[in-house]
Amino acid sequence: MLTSPETWTQGDIAALLRTRDPDEIEEIRAAAEQVLLRECGDAVHLRGLVESSNVCKCDCDYCGIRKSRRDVERYTLEEDDILACAHLIAELGYGSMVIQSGERSDQKFIDLTARAVARIKRETRSGDLPDGLGITLCVGQQSRDVYQRLFDAGAHRYLLRIETTNPDLFAKIHPKEQTLASRMECLEVLREVGFQVGTGVMIGLPGQTVEDLAADVMFYKTQDVDMFGMGPYIPAPDTPLVAQDCPPAEDRLRLGFLMIAATRLLCRDVNIASTTALQTLHPHARETGLRFGANVLMPQTTPPERRRSYQLYAGKSNLDENAATFRTELEARLKAIGRRIEVNKWGDSRHAVRRMQ
Ligand code: 5AD
């Protein structure tokens, strides 16, 4: 029997994450789904994902677009290309988009992103979307001024993953210029600037324990975060971490689902994405993630000719996802699990809406 999440300790969450018995997993899943339906309803929010540049100044040990990788063809989408993606997303009725890129602090890129955001807000307004597309940014650690500028341009949500809350593990997988403390500080600044803030971790990293993951979930609760994106770690070729052992794929997959459920049970009214990394480990895993308490999907809307250059890990599953047919196919699959797509809405988390009232 599941105990009440309000009383959970790190040990209780670790015990939940260790579950392997199918009946117990089903009990956890059903409980998380029930909390989701009660707190957030049956809607699945879509955010068209545009990977605007794979140029990156960071050298994270796990990442397929890290600076040191010489064989990656680097690109930056033109402003008009980003706008074309935004128009497609609006036409498809997704209501929101995510602009994600490698981490860059050069002025040219910040200017480009701010200009694109402002134009998207202006040019996607319609009867269906009176305030234009909702925009989430995922462009890494930036200064307060840059965050402010991007917010003023019209972006209203920001995703910055913490990757892991274990400082030793964080230090092991990042070059020394990057620190957990500065990432945490960015989350604070983003909140102060006025963004709805999302974070998350990778699941099944070499050297990561179930206790670490339980601490991550405890951290989520204390931070009053609005949204989460987390997924299994997937080894990327030609990266330092690829040589190190990580748990087998089925364990990372199960842990991915259980992390979603634990987060839903504890944080209740937040948005949780069912990520591409999950789907990379199993073709139907994104839908399974929704059944474990996730309520956001990020369909691939990067121009097809660029997708192959934006591979954070090996075997990324949605390279051939077709933006035009994705929605109809998804609609049928969601119906089968008692869920529906929400059309032409930003789909902010109830948590954020309540917090900002
Ligand atoms: N496996 C899984 N997720 C990864 N990310 C980067 N590299 C990998 C990988 N090899 C995730 C990180 C980052 C997000 C954009 O992608 O969590 O914050």
Residue ranges and CATH numbers for the domains of the chain are 35-352 (3.20.20.70)
pLDDT value, residue 233: 98
Q: 222: buried, middle or exposed (CB in 10 Å: 19+, 13-18, 0-12)?
A: exposed
What is the model's pLDDT at position 326?
87
Identify which of 7, 75, 29, 39 has the alpha carbon closest to the alpha carbon of residue 256. 29
More reliable by pLDDT, 321 or 292: 292
According to the model, what pLDDT value does residue 176 have? 96
What is the reported pLDDT for 117?
A: 98
Nearest of 351, 296, 357, 343 to residue 136 by alpha carbon: 296
Question: How far is the centre of ligand 1, averaged over its atoms, from the C-alpha of 333 (Å)?
Answer: 27
pLDDT at residue 322 is higher than 90:
no
319 pLDDT band, cuts 50/70/90, is confident
Residue 14: pLDDT over 90? yes
Indicate which residue's Cα is closest to atom 3 of ligand 1.
Answer: 233
- Closest by alpha carbon to 293, among 310, 311, 308, 273? 273
Q: Does residue 154 register a pLDDT over 90? A: yes
Share of the chain above pLDDT 70, in %: 100
Question: Whose C-alpha lies nearest to ligand 1, atom 18?
Answer: 161
The Cα 260–Cα 29 span in angstroms is 9
pLDDT confidence bin for 77, thresholds 50/70/90: very high
Burial of 167 from C-beta contacts in 10 A (0-12 / 13-18 / 19+): exposed
Residue 320 has pLDDT above 90, yes or no: no
357 compared with 251, residue with greater pLDDT: 251
Ligand 1 atom nearest residue 234's Cα: 1
Instruction: Return the half-sphere exposure (C-beta side, CA atoms, 13 A cut-off) of residue 205.
Output: 26
Q: Which atom of ligand 1 is nearest to the CA of 62?
A: 10
pLDDT tens track for 231-257: 999 999 999 999 999 999 999 999 999
Q: Per-residue pLDDT for 225 more than 90?
A: yes
What is the model's pLDDT at position 262? 98
Q: Is the pLDDT of residue 94 over 90?
A: yes
* C-alpha dihedral sign at 290, 302, 347, 157: positive
CA distance 335 to 341: 9
Tell how far the Cα of 331 is from the centroid of ligand 1, in angstroms.
Answer: 28
202 closest CA partner among 158, 156, 241: 241
- At residue 136, what are phi and psi to the nearest 5 degrees? -105, 135
pLDDT value at 126 more than 90: yes
- What pLDDT sits at residue 229? 97
Tell me the C-alpha to C-alpha distance, in Å, between residue 294 and each of 32, 104, 231, 249, 266: 9, 30, 12, 20, 13
pLDDT at position 327, please? 86
Mean pLDDT of 153-159: 98
Give the mean pLDDT of 14-33: 98
The model's pLDDT over 250-304, given as tens digits with 9 standing for 90+, comes to 999 999 999 999 999 999 999 999 999 999 999 999 999 999 999 999 999 999 9
Q: What is the percent of the chain with per-residue pLDDT over 90, rounded to a whole number? A: 94
pLDDT of residue 25: 98
> Which ligand 1 atom is the nearest neighbour of the CA of 138?
15
Q: How far is the CA of 189 from the centre of ligand 1 (A)?
A: 22
**CA 166–ligand 1 middle distance (angstroms):** 16
**pLDDT above 80 for 317:** no
Query: How far does residue 38's CA lie from ligand 1's centre (Å)?
Result: 31
**pLDDT category of residue 316 using cuts at 50, 70 and 90:** confident
Residues having CB closer than 6 A to ligand 1 are 62-63, 161, 163, 202, 231, 233-234, 236, 277, 312-313
76-86 average pLDDT score:
98
Is the CB of residue 89 less than 8 Å from the CB of residue 301? Answer: yes
The pLDDT of 318-322, averaged and rounded, is 84
